Amino acid sequence: MFRSEHVITQEVLFERAADSYAAFAQNLANLKARQQIFAALPVTKRAALLSEFGSRLKVKRAELARMVCEEVGRCLRECEAELDKSVELIHYYSHLSPELLAYKTIATQASLSQVRFEPLGIVLAVMPWNYPVWQILRFAVSALCAGNGCVVKPAPSVARVTAALFDLVGDDLPFIPAWLAHEDLEKAIADTDALAFTGSVETGRILAGYAGRHLKKTVLELGGSNAFIVLPDADLEQAAKDACYSRFRDAGQSCNAAKRIIVTEAVADEFIQLFLKETAYLKMDNPMLSETTLAPLHREDLRAQVHGQVLDAVNNGAKVLYGGFLPEGTGWFYPATVLADVTPDCRVYHEEVFGPVAVLLLARDAEDAVDLANDNPFGLGASIYTQDEETAWQYAQKLQTGAVYINRHTSSDLRLPFGGVKASGFGRELSEFGLYEFVNIKTYWQK
């Protein structure tokens, strides 16, 4: 069942049953036929069709942002930023894909040898709820530029905004939703040509197992527990502001947020006071209101999971410096929470916390900070704050992550690859590297 509810009132906004597999199979057959026609178009024509879709999306920006706010619970301005970035992504690839997908002639003993980038066919995506427009388009736009068809199984709890997004796609792009039941996913993976998944490690392992069984190319983005390292010579006020913004934006429901704040002991007391001061400015309220800076969580069970992790930490010796309680009233709100004295006995030391909870860890020095950062199953991103940039680059190379940001919180940039290592998954999205994930890099040799 696909069912969207209002995050404050719990009013049902959209509801529909899953399609039968027979209905999906018919839609998939039609999509494969359309993909063949689309792939035969010049890349410039495919890019132009995507650009037209981007223009339609821009017109509906306010309407879709409001839907995301109501269904997911993030602040309205954060949802508007998601739409803006999604439109920018479409125009980025529409502009660059003709150049990046151009044939590459390589000098060999042949009279002509080339490398060409050809589509794999149909890419199946299983997508999460937290960025219901951006996450879909982050994988799909580059895959479509390359000539693939894309079929998307959305998270059940954001079905309304997914349906509205696909209403804008039109008939020119081989890009459709898949209202599939969970139990049909392995067959869908077997019947398509590649898999993109963003979500939990547990589900990622299951889907990657299906894809491995059927030998399908896979890109997984499985979340993170990003380290935010503060060295003794850092600009502490700026670091505190950035750490607060990164940890608590989107109500903490972002894989790429700063989740473990690792501070060297020499400046720990001063930094923690600055961080708590920034945290106290946050205002928890209706996400539609412009003054709100901390929105509710997406669902009741997700809030219960976050609070359970906090209680476990306290039971294992951690100290709550701020927040840490279940508020009364409607909506699945959880206060900004700061935990200190966290040890490896606490679940939050090892697990991803998908909510507004900051974990403070103290390091003896920079080497110890890097060791603490790496002592975690995840490897998506990390930040290092220091005025010694040369030293920062040296330590950045020791961090087991897909990205390191120096004197800035982690984020994503259209021009740079996005993805992780270890339990954060494999493969990359965005940039030219994301464009090449779902292509057959094919060699041609002529005597």
Tokens of 348: 């939050």
Evaluate whether 73 touches 332 at the Cβ level (below 8 Å): yes
Alpha-carbon gap, residue 254 to 381, rounded angstroms = 12
User: How many CB atoms are closer than 10 A to CB 326?
Assistant: 13
Phi, psi of 86 (to 5 degrees): -65, -45
C-alpha separations of 24 from 17, 19, 155, 435 in Å: 13, 7, 17, 27
Which listed residue (75, 150, 255, 346) is catalytic? 255
User: Which residues, including other chains, have CB under 8 Å from residue 360's CB and lie 6 or more apart?
Assistant: 261, 263, 272, 275, 321, 338, 339, 340, 342
User: Known catalytic residue: 221?
Assistant: yes
| The two three-digit tokens of residue 326, written as one number | 């279940």
Region of residue 6 (phi > 0: left; psi between -120 and 50: alpha; otherwise: beta): beta
Report CA-CA distances (Å) from 128 to 21, 77, 81, 338.
21, 20, 18, 26
Count other C-beta atoms under 10 Å from residue 343's C-beta: 12
Residue 175's alpha-carbon distances to 44, 121, 140, 169, 210, in angstroms, are 18, 12, 8, 7, 23
Compute the distance between CA of residue 40 and CA of residue 380 in angstroms, rounded to an integer.
Answer: 36
Strand spans (E) along 32-172 = 104-105, 112-119, 122-126, 149-153
Strand segments, DSSP code E, in 24-70 are none
Instruction: Measure the CA–CA gap between 146 and 149, rounded to whole angstroms.
Output: 9
Catalytic, out of 78, 221, 278, 352: 221
Q: Which tokens is 179 given?
A: 């209202």
> How far apart (Å, rounded) are the C-alpha atoms in residues 208 and 216?
9
Angstrom distances, CA of residue 168 to CA of 27, 70, 161: 18, 20, 11
Q: Report DSSP state, residue 118.
A: E
Give the three-class secondary structure for 294.
strand
Distances (CA, A) of 39 to 31, 36, 93, 94, 418: 12, 5, 16, 15, 26
3-state secondary structure string across 361-412: EEECCHHHHHHHHHCCCEECEEEEECCCHHHHHHHHCCCCCCEEEECCCCCC
| Residues recognised as catalytic | 221, 255
